[in-house]
Chain A
């Protein structure tokens, strides 16, 4: 058990490092020289050379990578050539803001989808199921940018109750950002809920048809108890991974939505950095996202362990 956790952690670290290598390599392929980018069209060749030197661009990539990863491990992602500031200065506020959306989305989406999924599974093939399935199908089929645009039209312009865009900067206090979190959260939750609901529904149906649930039902216990104590832990097992995948998806999915709402999050920073060729920022974002992905999967595994005593107590299985 402890051994398992250790091995799991080690492999997680390895994955992050490996994706860092991939990102670093890919980013080296981006066209357009950062130095010229920063200095502009009129830069003299000497100035460009000087800046390249200052940015360490003349050293071999492998050396730069090692330096960089060593720094990254300490939370130091180097200097952004575009703003001239440490990458961490821009990164953390944006990350914080995205976490704000992400956490509220996860809370809303996971609760909603588990409840709806269970309802749909329990009322299988009856009207609540049909309704929920139809809604989730629509949720899955409308791209998030459309959802976001429609929400703005509806809740900001037609009935102005919520802000259409965020005017604040990345460093604004959380309290100021809160009203602006609502619409992105709804837009993202709809999409995310749709996927999780379907998974939960299927797995609830599977589990409810299983022998142990039937046995429990035949003990004469109440439906709520049946679902919560007997069915849910097993039904949530396959759902956990879907949730983890979706959380990882959030990091990317959020880019489009943040763009629509002018929300100063990691997604917007990512788009901006791609355009500006702000490679250190891009690398930092990629590594952070990889970390989030790995952590999500780790959390899913731990969650699975909590739900499944077979994993928790180790061994004992009789094939």
Chain B
């Protein structure tokens, strides 16, 4: 006896490719995701293409051109050292993006592995790990960051390390919760009844079903990392001058905000749009992937 066929699409040859294309389709339909990913892509493009977009140097001091207002030569004017503000903002994305991408990737990777493992293993290991992570979480991040940065000295690598240290426990929590949601499901039970090893269960059954959580977490986390790193730069623990970093630019120029608004506003806007982009992407991704049954299951 045959069953009603609910108008399912033609058999795709490659499921992975299909998943990707379906995701792309879903994302394309969501305006939020489009705007968000668009903004992030724009920032990426600008950062990568910076040398092509502007011929000026982001670090050269030109005393004759200090403190100029916006003009044809300098669209957003120059700062106190005669550097073109627009050029610095354009190059500023390089630092912000590389450091926060690296830091986020480390935190997410470590957090995902730990989170999944502890969720699946459970028992005493889980209890111990969660207790330690709780203790780490209880220490204010800014304090931990300051201590790490003072111990090891500021520098991109140290900042990546510090941010990883501070954010991994939070990622572990999120991933663990997601994995715990998946762990009792019947397909995981089936794998356990087959007697599969934990690692194999993790890679085959759990991880593919929480990638969306991880991806959303990544976008979300990245936006916080961008903000955190700018705060560090602002407090003087981040990029060294003359690195064109947004947080540093804001802190360098904020005193002169009244007479030179663009030198401060431009990096603020750049920073805010990147964070907005990341946030919207996170929103869009989570909406696109929140397994909306009405649409998925016929």
Contact = CB atoms under 8 A, between A and B. Distances in A.
Whether A and B are associated in the same complex: the answer reads: yes
Given A141-B275, A252-B142, A19 B234 contact: no
Counting chain B CB atoms within 10 Å of each CB, the highest count among A30, A253, A274 belongs to A274
Given A137-B276, A146-B268, A16 B138 contact: yes
Contact of A289 (B143, B254, B280): B143
- If over half of B's interface residues share one DSSP class (helix, strand or loop), that class is named, otherwise mixed; here it is helix
A289 B140 contact: yes
A145 interface: yes
Interface residues of A, number: 45
Interface residues of B, number: 36
Counting chain A CB atoms within 10 Å of each CB, the highest count among B139, B227, B272, B280 belongs to B139
Interface stretch (A20-28, A60-68, A225-233, A307-315): A20-28
B38 interface: no
A77 interface: no
A241 to B, nearest CB: 10
A289 B230 contact: no
Contacts of A289: 138-140, 143
B254 A143 contact: no
B257 interface: yes
Interface string B253-282: 010011000000000100111011001100
A175 interface: no
Contact of B151 (A22, A31, A248, A282): A31
B276 A138 contact: yes
B188 to A, nearest CB: 18
Nearest to A274: B146
A218 interface: no
A286 interface: yes
B139 A141 contact: no
Contact of B235 (A27, A153, A271): A271
B143 A285 contact: yes
Given A143-B231, A146-B250, A19 B138 contact: yes
A19 B150 contact: no
A249 B224 CA distance: 12
Contacts of A16: 135, 138
A256 B142 contact: yes
Contacts of B150: 30-31, 274
Contacts of A143: 227, 230-231, 234, 247, 271
Interface string B112-150: 000000000000000000011011111111111011001
B262 to A, nearest CB: 15
Interface of B: 131-132, 134-144, 146-147, 150-151, 223, 227, 230-231, 234-235, 247, 250, 254, 257-258, 268, 271-273, 275-276, 279-280
Interface of A: 11, 14-16, 18-19, 21-23, 26-27, 29-31, 137-138, 140-146, 149, 153, 157, 248-249, 251-253, 255-256, 259, 267, 270-271, 274, 282, 285-286, 289-290, 293-294
22 contacts: A16-B138, A18-B132, A19-B135, A26-B144, A26-B151, A141-B223, A141-B271, A142-B268, A142-B271, A143-B230, A143-B231, A144-B231, A149-B257, A256-B142, A256-B235, A270-B142, A271-B146, A274-B146, A274-B150, A282-B147, A285-B143, A293-B137
